[in-house]
Structure 1
Amino acid sequence: MTGTVNDEDDADGLRHKRRDLLNVARRHFMAEGYAAARMEAIARDASVSTATLYAFFPSKTDLFTHVIDDASDDFARQIQGIQVRGGTVREQLTAFAETYARFMGDPFVRAVFRLVMAERKRFQPTADGFFERGRGEIGGVLMQVIRDQADKGALRIERPSWAAGQLMGMIEHPVFFVPMVTGDDVQSRRDASCIATQAVDTFLARYGTGQG
């Protein structure tokens, strides 16, 4: 029994150490980019030897790939928080839109996207997987709402995927793409709630039936 407990403690310790290394590496990659980040500096910042860092991640390429995969896992956990419960079509769409606006408006989310885009040519499969996973998991939540409400007669939509993309695009533009281009210091005059409400108003004006 003692050996089992010790083994579990050792495993927990390794998981915590790996988590610490990924967090430190993420900060370095986001601040310096892939090319400028140094394994020695990452190890020093994480208070481990370079040999220990290489024991967990055999190369900088391997470390970067795991950093992006780990960020994708973090986003997936946040996306799981977009739970659209019962209510009218407006209430359900607004619940999604407000959560999505806050998520896409998070400076950390933009920072990770910048990093992935900057290194896309070098890490094509990793970058593609990152973008596709986010699109599929977030879009899947909205698609389900649209299909359910269309079945109830509250929406008239021939192509749910197009409609979902249009709603998400109306949200992404002010909270994500504009700051990506102009910098995080430039903030929309509208808050996330206002952006979400106006996007849903436009969406329902196009696809709503006035029912539900």
Structure 2
Amino acid sequence: MTSPTVPVPEGTPEPAAKSEDPRQRSIVREARRYFMSEGYAATRIEPIARAASVSTATLYGYFPSKAHLFSAVIADAADDFQAQMRTVGMAGGTAREQVTAFATAYANFMGDRFVRSVFRLVMAERPRFRDVAQGFFERGRSDFGAPLMRALTVLAERGELSFPKAAWAAGQLMGMIEHPVFFMPLVTGDEVQTQRTTECIVAEVVETFMARYGT
């Protein structure tokens, strides 16, 4: 059975929440595996249906086209990221303790190979799914950046930090972490890893951040 020719404009709607239907969840999970290993263009619907133990007709009943299925896969990955992001918070303690806790959790998240694999997939298909990709990146920025800015603002109000804008301070903190643990492997490949440990990277980042913004 061949894929129906359903034209899908940029910004194909993403599911608002994870489905409770076990067959739909299985389809999305198997599709994620194929899209990430094969890429969008090379991925075929029939193997996904077989891996999910459903017929192709059943799969198309949930997702009218491969484009709709891809959008659901990205939304599902974003949901998983959001669940992980909930652990990347600012706990109680001094400014240094809170910044260290955030930096450690964020470094562990951004250094995860699965996270990079999803980002690679989204970036590769951005010309085809521009709005889906933009929504994915904006969601990540909101889930991470907004809570961090709120926490930094509280620390500034307590007199433990001083900065002109919370957004600048948050962006610099996240950027110092992202460069060695995320962007370098993203560009050079997972086989090329920084020689520094995560603990060493976090310690250097926190020291630089506190030297700049600590009071």
- Fold in common (TM above 0.5): yes
- The residue aligned with 1:148 is 154
Determine which of 177, 183, 194 is the counterpart of 1:177. Answer: 183
Q: How far does the alpha carbon of each residue in 1:155-184 deviate from its partner, in whole angstroms, 9 at most, with x for none?
A: 111111011111101000010000011110
* Residue ranges of structure 1 left out of the alignment (5+ in a row): 1-12
Matched ranges for 1:69-84 at <5 A: 69-84=75-90
Matched ranges for 1:2-21 at <5 A: 15-21=21-27
The CA distance in 1 between the partners of 2:152 and 2:189, in whole Å, is: 33
Q: Rg: which structure is higher? A: 1
Check conservation: 2:161, 2:214, Cα contact below 8 A.
yes
The CA distance in 1 between the partners of 2:71 and 2:60, in whole Å, is: 14
Task: Read off the aligned partner of 1:104 and give its amino acid letter.
Answer: M
- The residue aligned with 2:209 is 203
Deviation at 1:193, TM superposition (A): 2.0
The CA distance in 1 between the partners of 2:20 and 2:156, in whole Å, is: 49
Q: Percent identity?
A: 59
Matched, 1:53 2:59: yes
Determine which of 141, 144, 163 is the counterpart of 1:138. Answer: 144
The CA distance in 2 between the partners of 1:68 and 1:124, in whole Å, is: 12
- The residue aligned with 1:112 is 118
Task: Read off the aligned partner of 1:21 and give its amino acid letter.
Answer: I
> What is the SS of the residue equivalent to 2:192?
coil
The CA distance in 2 between the partners of 1:144 and 1:38, in whole Å, is: 44
The CA distance in 2 between the partners of 1:83 and 1:134, in whole Å, is: 14
Deviation at 1:47, TM superposition (A): 1.9
* Residue ranges of structure 2 left out of the alignment (5+ in a row): 1-18
Deviation at 1:46, TM superposition (A): 1.6
| TM-score (ref. length: structure 2) | 0.89
For these two proteins, the number of residue pairs brought into alignment is 197
Matched ranges for 1:32-43 at <5 A: 32-43=38-49
> What is the SS of the residue equivalent to 2:39?
helix
Deviation at 1:14, TM superposition (A): 6.2
Q: How far does the alpha carbon of each residue in 1:64-97 deviate from its partner, in whole angstroms, 9 at most, with x for none?
A: 0010011111101110111322100000001000
- The residue aligned with 1:124 is 130
| TM-score (ref. length: structure 1) | 0.90
Matched, 1:30 2:53: no
The CA distance in 1 between the partners of 2:171 and 2:90, in whole Å, is: 17
The CA distance in 2 between the partners of 1:52 and 1:181, in whole Å, is: 38
Check conservation: 1:97, 1:171, Cα contact below 8 A.
yes
